[in-house]
Amino acid sequence: MPGLPGLVRSVRTPEFAGVVFHEVLAKSVLNRMPENSSMPFRWTINPYRGCTHACSYCLHGDTPVLMADGTTKPMAELRVGDRVYGTERRGSYRHYVPTEVLDHWSTVKPAYRVTLVDGTQLIASGEHRFLTERGWKHVTGEVSGPSRRPHLTAGNKLMGTGRFALPPKDTADYRRGYLSGIARGDGTVTGSERAAARVAEYLTGDFALTLPVEWPRTPTDEWRKGLLAGAFDADGTFSHRILRLPNLGDRALTAVTEALEAFGFSYAIESRRAAGGKSCVRIDGGLAEHLRLFHTTDPAATEKRAIDDAAIKSGAQLGVVSIEPLGLDLPLFDITTGTGDFIANGVVSHNCFARNSHKYLDLDAGHDFDSQIVVKVNAPQVLTRQLASPRWDRSPVAMGTNTDPYQRAEGRYRLMPGIIGTLAKHGTPFSILTKGTLLNRDIPLLRAVSADVPVWLGVSVALLDRELQRVLEPGTASPQARLEMVRRLNDAGLSCGVAVAPVLPGLTDSVEQLDALFSGIAAAGATSVMVTALHVRPGAREWFAAWLAREHPELVPLYRRVYGVSSYASAGYRAELSARVAPLLRRHALSTSRFDPPIPAQRTAETQNAGDTQLTLL
């Protein structure tokens, strides 16, 4: 991981196949919450960034990606901050919208070739997903067993405009054609600033052309491409999904229509006549043909090539013909974008949205999103120095608010005992929220330090259904194992509550399901329960929506009513859930609680106005 501050070494180990641990010397491990945060704590500690689950990567580096200025760029050449096209769902259709590249990386994976009816070939990993008429589908998968997932088969149709055309070559013929199109035979140069800059380059560059240029008797294809680009830059328009080349004299009209025919474009000469008897040519065929013209000819006026808000409707032949393993491990690339997708060689392609710089852990959304784990190997030592400062006011510290401190990597690095001991030594109250049963290892230590500082422990148990748990919480311990850990913690005299989060409308929120779960929680001796409806932030939202539409389409109308465009359940649903939960909690003698760290008396009044924001597990 080049450029990672404080990197000591990167380690692979047999017990964590496919995982790389990047061991760093951190300068600080205490993270201060933003001043405007409504959380009831001011400080957190996260000794790990990332989680020990496999990452998926997608496309070959040569795959062209549609940029927000209408041009294309190879996947390998994309950079953070680039603007590309993604999609946004509005009503019955997705629409093209500009979005930003938030992250970009590569790996080596077994590669597959996906071939479409129109001849498009896409090289991708088996985990990559494309948008089809029936939703997102992986390149490969199985119909049953542990590898079961929606995947491409012959006959599926991908969504998009069809493969992108190759750009023209920068030859002397192309430049002559471009200047001919700009000047339209009369020596006048008009058009955008970018067009003017290109003209200046062509007149003073390596080829040193002069105006007016001589029109060839037998034009080449490169000349024709330049002519069409110049004609568009001079006076062409592209608005309301209509592309026109106006103000063409007889000579230019003949050359332009011959060029369009040579490349197979459909067009119409509009009947209305412009001043001086000049004509206007309209290029037909919709967005797919308009993009093909832009990419074939490469006009300089990229500001006139925008496709913002166009609906994804196309007659392109994007049916899947075959999916073939190449038998090779190839360098493959992936990006994170603001919309969660991008356009790869004319088809809508899903990105790895949860990979954005390890900012959060969303196991509940079913994402095994990262095999690159940043480990702050000196966390206990740095924490000792920070807490020894005379300015440290012994404010409560919350752990498990971002990444789980008891994920599998903790079994290797054993950072938590040192962190717990340091917090206790400096009289600092703390809380731990986890779904990792590795916490069992530290029960004796937690019991010992609880005599010196307030300690609060929380365990996440969202549901009892093992099949649903395997889908939504892959890689985590079973609900039964977590409840057994709750019992052990309470038997040890440690205050331990349970987060029933997230509650999934229509899936885990019935009276029968909640009653069974609360019964198990009560039997485990939990001291309190926090119940929170599903919270789907961007990224997790897209995955969950696709999963829901695929696995439980009958629930889609319910989720649209409950969530709309918000990440949070509606106030009406939350009120219904509270009314359902309250009598069940009374039946099982369970009290409700927020998942807050122990708050000293002087801060009690401060937290009373913290609102009802709670730690989100999804």
Tally of structural domains, the chain:
3
**Domain shared by 287 and 334, yes or no:** no
317 and 286 assigned to the same domain: no
Q: Retrieve residue 31's tokens.
A: 């993270």
Q: Greater confidence, 419 or 364? A: 419
Between CA 387 and CA 28 the distance in angstroms is 11
- Give, in order, the Cα–Cα distances in Å from 612 to each of 39, 43, 595: 9, 18, 11
Read off the pLDDT of each residue in 342-366 and give the average, rounded to a whole number: 58
| Whole-number pLDDT of residue 477 | 77
Domain boundary among 265, 281, 304: 304
Measured CA angle at 407 (ends 405, 408), to 5 deg = 140
**What letter does residue 71 receive in the DSSP assignment?**
-
Average pLDDT over residues 517-527: 91
Is the pLDDT confidence value at 411 over 80? yes
pLDDT band at 367 (very low <50, low <70, confident <90, very high): very low
211 DSSP 8-state letter: S
In the 3-class helix/strand/coil scheme, how is 540-587 assigned residue by residue?
Answer: HHHHHHHHHHHHCHHHHHHHHHHHCCCCCCCHHHHHHHHHHHHHHHHH
Same domain flag for 298 and 329: no
How far is 585 from 574, CA to CA, in rounded Å?
16
Task: Read off the pLDDT band of 19 (50, 70, 90).
Answer: confident
In a domain, 33, yes or no: yes
Whether residue 338 sits in one domain with residue 372:
no
pLDDT tens digits for 170-220?
998 999 999 999 886 444 555 578 888 898 888 886 666 776 678 898 999
User: Which pLDDT belongs to residue 31?
Assistant: 87
Give residues with Cβ within 8 angstroms of 270, minimum separation 6.
Answer: 244, 279, 280, 281, 282
How many angstroms separate the CA atoms of 67 and 61, rounded?
15
CATH number at 66 reads 2.170.16.10
Q: Across residues 314-337, what is the average pLDDT?
A: 85
Q: For 485-513, how does the pLDDT look when each residue is reduced to its tens digit (9 = 90+)?
A: 999 999 999 989 998 988 999 999 999 99
Q: Which of 6-10, 93-97, 233-237, 450-454 has the lowest mean pLDDT?
A: 6-10
Residue 326 has pLDDT above 60, yes or no: yes
Other CB atoms closer than 10 Å to residue 295's CB: what's the count?
21
Q: Highest mean pLDDT: which of 37-46, 276-285, 373-382?
A: 373-382
Round the average pLDDT of the chain to a whole number and report it: 82
Give pLDDT, residue 205: 64
Residues 426 and 319 in one domain: no
- Report the pLDDT averaged over residues 553-564: 90
Q: For position 356, what pLDDT does the model report?
A: 39
What is the domain extent for residue 135? Answer: 59-161+312-351
The pLDDT value recorded for residue 195 is 87
Per-residue model confidence (pLDDT) at position 457: 93
Least confident of 59-73, 222-236, 273-287, 566-580: 273-287
- Identify whether 602 is part of a domain: yes
Tell me the CB-side half-sphere exposure of residue 456, using CA atoms within 13 A. Answer: 25
> What's the first-to-final CA gap in the chain, in angstroms?
27
Helices (H), 250-318: 250-262, 286-297
Preceding amide of 64 cis, omega within 30: no
* 429 lies in the same domain as 576: yes
In a domain, 429, yes or no: yes
Q: What is the pTM of this model?
A: 0.52
- Could you tell me if 422 and 387 are in contact, meaning their C-beta atoms sit under 8 angstroms apart? yes
- 379 and 495: one domain? yes
d(C-alpha 142, C-alpha 165), whole Å: 34
Closest to 252 (Cα-Cα) out of 291, 219, 299: 219
Q: What is the CA radius of gyration of the chain?
A: 30
The secondary element (H helix, E strand) that includes residue 79 is none
- Encode pLDDT of 370-410 as tens digits: 467 788 999 999 999 999 999 999 999 999 876 789 987 88
Query: What pLDDT, on the 0 to 100 scale, is given for residue 55?
Result: 32
Residue 544 banded pLDDT, cuts 50, 70, 90: confident
Whole-number Å distance between alpha carbons of 481 and 486 = 9
Encoded tokens for 307: 């496709």
Q: Is residue 613 part of a domain?
A: no
Mean pLDDT value of segment 293-303: 94
Answer yes or no: is pLDDT of 244 > 90: yes
pLDDT confidence band for 164 (50 / 70 / 90): very high
Where a domain ends, among 266, 283, 304? Answer: 304
Angle at 335 between CA 332 and CA 340, to 5 degrees: 130
Q: Is residue 568 part of a domain?
A: yes
Q: Please report, for the domain that includes residue 26, its CATH number.
A: 3.20.20.70
Dihedral of CA atoms 519, 521, 527, 529 in degrees, nearest 10, equals -90
Q: How many whole angstroms separate alpha carbon 571 and alpha carbon 408?
A: 37
Q: Of 20-34, 37-51, 542-556, which range is least confident?
A: 37-51
Percent pLDDT > 70 in the chain is 82
Last residue of a domain, one of 321, 351, 381: 351
Question: Both 412 and 523 in a single domain?
Answer: yes
- Evaluate if residue 265 carries a pLDDT over 70: yes
Neighbours of 93 (CB within 10 A): 12
Q: Torsion angle of alpha carbons 570, 575, 576, 581, nearest 10°?
A: 130
Lowest mean pLDDT among 46-60, 291-305, 375-389: 46-60
Give residue 368's pLDDT band: very low, low, confident or very high (50, 70, 90): very low
d(CA 20, CA 33): 29
Q: What is the pLDDT of residues 313-323, one digit of tens each?
A: 777 889 999 99
Distance CA 210, CA 212 (A): 6
| Residue predicted with more confidence, 512 or 549 | 512
How distant, in Å, are the alpha carbons of 37, 379, 538 from that of 556? 32, 44, 17
Strands 7-12 and 20-24: antiparallel
For residue 615, pLDDT beyond 60? no
Q: Does residue 407 sit in the same domain as residue 317?
A: no
Please give the DSSP secondary-structure letter assigned to residue 528. Answer: -
What secondary structure letter does DSSP report for 297? Answer: H
CATH code where residue 202 lies: 3.10.28.10
Q: Are residues 177 and 254 in the same domain?
A: yes
Is residue 614, in this structure, part of any structural domain at all? Answer: no
Is there a single domain that holds both residue 130 and residue 176? no
Per the CB < 8 A criterion, the answer to whether 132 and 159 are in contact is yes
Please report whether residue 560 resides in a domain: yes
Q: Is the pLDDT of residue 289 over 60?
A: yes
**Residue 471 banded pLDDT, cuts 50, 70, 90:** low
Q: In the chain, what percentage of residues exceed pLDDT 90?
A: 44
Tokens of 473: 């919480």
CA distances from 70 to 122, 196, 292 (A): 20, 19, 11
In a domain, 616, yes or no: no
Are 594 and 503 within one domain? yes
Distance CA 5, CA 24 (A): 7
Helices 172-183 and 221-235 pack at an angle, to 10 degrees, of 30
